Amino acid sequence: AMVAAGSQLTFGSGPIADKHSIGGIPGNRTTMIVVPILAALGITIPKTSSRAITSPAGTADTMAMLAEVALPPGRLHEVVAATGACIAWGGALDLAPADDILITVERPMEIDTESQMVASILSKKKTAGATHTLIDIPVGPTAKVRTAADAERLAALFRAVADRIDLRVDVVLTEARGPIGWGIGPRLEALDVLAVLHCEPDAPVDLREKSLYLASRIIEMVGRAHPGGGYRLALDALEHGAALA
């Protein structure tokens, strides 16, 4: 119902990649590294992201430190046509607008239920034109998901709902012992992302390696590499400057 309620974007036959972390981990700005890596490899990934709901910054807040994120559909298609990717604020696109209304209720009450979260994430992926989506579920003592058993149950829900709406998903469980990167908040997180993309020696290793891992899973999911072969492609795109470009 949420998919049918608003606009839908299309970017051709695909594969059209997407990713999403369920959030709750400060500094987890992997999207801003994964997207340019995939774009450098010719994988189309029109990424729509949210602003902060229950954390100091969302991906859209951090990306806004570097570029305009409130892209209307026409401009978003221009960016994707030129670069193969984008990182835009989903709230400007009328994608699953019922979700945005629910989020405005959830934010001040600090509510983030699992069922609503799954509906929110997958409806946004489907309406953004994705055919293949990676879902990152951080698991740790202060994360939204605290145990492996809870994570597996949530992953099963993601897979079941995605199957019903004809969306291919790969769900990964990642260890989250604390914040990722050096800085928390939009500006500092943007500096961390740029340090990784510039391959600076003091760039946060945890942010770099998690981004490479997530990128590798998407590369393999869309068929650009055999299982186990995606990491080398992602690393080459990062180390040779293609992702930064």
**Does the annotation mark 136 as catalytic?**
no
Asked if 33 and 19 count as a contact pair (C-beta separation under 8 A), the reply is no
Residue 177, both tokens: 């012992």
Beta bridge partners of 47: 87
Alpha-carbon span 60 to 68, nearest angstrom: 9
Give the closest residue to 76 by CA, choosing from 124, 10, 17: 10
Whose tokens are 């400007």? That residue is 92
9 HSE (CA, 13 A, CB side): 32
39: phi then psi, degrees, rounded to nearest 5: -60, -40
Residue 232, both tokens: 């080398």
Alpha-carbon span 225 to 82, nearest angstrom: 24
**Of 94, 112, 150, 236, which is the active-site residue?**
112
**Residues contacting 151, CB < 8 A, separation 6+:** 137, 139, 145, 173
Alpha-carbon span 123 to 96, nearest angstrom: 6
**Residues contacting 37, CB < 8 A, separation 6+:** 211, 212, 215, 234, 237, 238, 243
| Residues tagged active-site | 112
